[in-house]
Structure 1
Amino acid sequence: MTEFRIPKVIPDIVNRVTGRWAPPGTGESKGKQRLHLDYVDRATRERQAERQSEDLEARRRFRRGGKSEGLEQRMVPDMEFSSYYGRPIVKAPPWGWPIGVYLWLGGIAGGSGVLAFGGQLMRNSELARNMRISAFGSAALGSLALVGDLGRPERALNMFRVFKVTSPMSMGSYLLLTFATSAALPAASEADTLLIENGKVIALPKPLRTFLRSASEASTPITGTLGPLLATYTGVLFSNTSVPAWSEGREYLPYIFGSSGALAAGGTAMIVTSPENAGPARVLAVAGTATEMYSMHRMKATMDPTVREVYEKDSPGILLKASEAAVVAGSLGTVAAHVLNALGKRSRGLSIASGVALVAGSAFTRFGVLHAGHNSVKDPKYVVEPQKRRMEKARAEGRLSENITTLS
């Protein structure tokens, strides 16, 4: 039996007047719910409801594994991941080559501060003088490179708007400011002394000259204390990013940066200091070489094999191989210079050549790590494959029971 039907024109008029109208066949309107009158008889509605119930039960049986009531089966096969529209998953860091210069000079500044403090304690006036000037000069030039990478100098002021203990960048900004300020007074005092020794006296008031001498002795311990922090904080900063090459090496990057700064500062002291007074610098350079080579080896051995590729090929691989060759050659020359100095046969040329090799090796290390980070964000596999391995390992150990997309 067919139900009583209301003429179709009546609901159309109501829908238009009340604003519920939508073109026929388009379903519900985007606004109010449209007035709908069912023109289908009761038997047709029952058949439609029965088919919908059967379809729903069939989907449930399929999810349970068919008639066997087994486990849920996968609907989608494993896919080879690329990325959306070929775009990188992780945004590339905006740091260019000036940051590489800043990393290099910051390491030299930090190591020079330590050597200056050591020279003061050991009454090695030549080493203390040269390293005080090196600490401030490297910090000042590194700051210029950092400001240059920002594009506009006034952006540097934004780095000091907040002081956040949990932010390596915020702490590093204030660390650099404090170090450069404490290194400025000793450097000014030593520069004034050098001018006096060369017969070029600047007309400074006597109280000011006395203040500089006293401030030099008091500020050098501050630079010596902050030096290791300045040389290593950039490694901590890199480790706290989402860049695969840096985050995978988070345990060793601070040691690599600190030891690289130590050997570079030792090489700088060997260049500008006479061999008989450069003994502490040679010891620091050899210790820094051993620490850097061990830390680099351990970092590569412990990181994911896919991510390790970026440190071994293309420009990062070339730079790091050049760094290793230069550092090994510089350290061997440093040991030879130390032995000759102990035998009373000093070689100024060997000391300078070894120092240049060490300083160059430190620069290659910093730029190699920087380029490795840039290369690791270009290919999605450096992000996805390590995550998949961590998930498989956690699932095998029973620490993961659900299918999630990331695992820290």
Structure 2
Amino acid sequence: MKLVLISPPFGEKGQKSKGLPIAPPVLEYLAGLTLQVRPDVEVQLIDANKEVFDPDRLDADLIGFTVLTPQAPWVYRVSDRLRAQGKQVLLGGIHVTALPDEAAAHADAIVLGEAEQIWKGLLDDAEKRSLKPVYQGGFPELKGLPHPVTNLWNTNYVYGYFQTSRGCPHRCTFCSVHEFFGGKVRVRPIDEVVAEIAASKRRLFWGIDDNVWGVNMNYTIELYREMGKNLTGKSWFGSGDLVSVDHPRSAELLKNARSAGLTAVLVGWESNNIGSLEEYKATNKQGRQRRDAIKKIRDAGIEVMLFMMIGGRQDRPEDYEGILKLCDELKVSAHPVMTTPFPGTELYKIYEPYLIPGHDWDSFDGNHAVFSHDDPAMSVEFREDAIVKLRAELFTIPRILSRIPQVGWRGFPMSHITSWMIQYPQGRAFKQFAREREELKAKGVL
């Protein structure tokens, strides 16, 4: 039996983009899981962001897609086309779990939740062409997980990935992690994490945990101690909260994290607007002194980027300029995204009465304003133009160069190199996006 797994494009309206420099983690992992439970199955991986993809030329017994919300329209169109040819289609991922009835209309089978407990039975059913409509994955313990398979791609990636836990202790209204992975945070055995990273030929990684140090302080400190002792020449970045840096053992945590290869962390600042922070239920993630926390992380030799949302119903026009001023003051970069109420989140329920009709799911991409705002100054056009301008201004060469020396000497040189590797490509991409948007507006397309 042949299984083809496809990573859908992130481009607007399904247009092919350059993709990310990170190998699609779900597909590599599912390839490893297949090898573990059905080693006789032939697996092919396709990244539709980075390579030519023709659904009419696919030859497979089962074709699977993992679906994020902005990818859904493209996936549905392609799935319908494949099924019309008599091919079996499987859909899974966060969007499918959030909206199973919608997804089921475009698939022979859907997976809700995680795949470990149902994967072998699903493959057996596919081989007999007797797929069940729904496979409920549940929330398995994370012991004995397979290693990702990294040698099946037709393209190359700068970064690999690893995972040490599933879930997040916070319950932010904009996030679906606690819904998708369940209310209990689960961790992998430390020795299995270390063995997986050590066995990988890759040297640069993305730690895909939703929180790289807020899950369990004792576990995380020990994990990073063992990674530091047993891994050489491996560097990685991840995402985390700020409140963990208030912990009495935070100095030990940061020291071990740096020795484990952590060079940069995207921290959840979320918003400067207190009304938005409260609406997002994110105040408990910030800690007592979040500015001091940023300095503490950087002094440990780890670069910091702020994850921020802007354009929410509590935000005001001055909040855009406020982000730029904050970053200039702290000499830190930020990754601002348009506040987006994803299905399956509490924020979606709050914003549902204000959603603008006519938007398909591919507009829920962090670039578009998909809901109305009570402030006339916060029109859709203003919010979309303002975030494009803000992103371009955040990543000018002088600003990037002013930030890199703020990273402590303990991280030299990899944290400083990582800082440039993260910031410069973003700045180049954001400026190109701004130019293209202006050209479209000049032509009357926008």
TM-score in same-fold range (> 0.5): no
Q: Which has the higher helix share?
A: 1
TM-score bracket for the superposition, by shorter chain length: under 0.3
What is the TM-score of this pair, normalised by structure 2?
0.22
Q: Which has the higher contact order (CA 8 A, sep 6+)?
A: 1
What is the TM-score of this pair, normalised by structure 1?
0.23
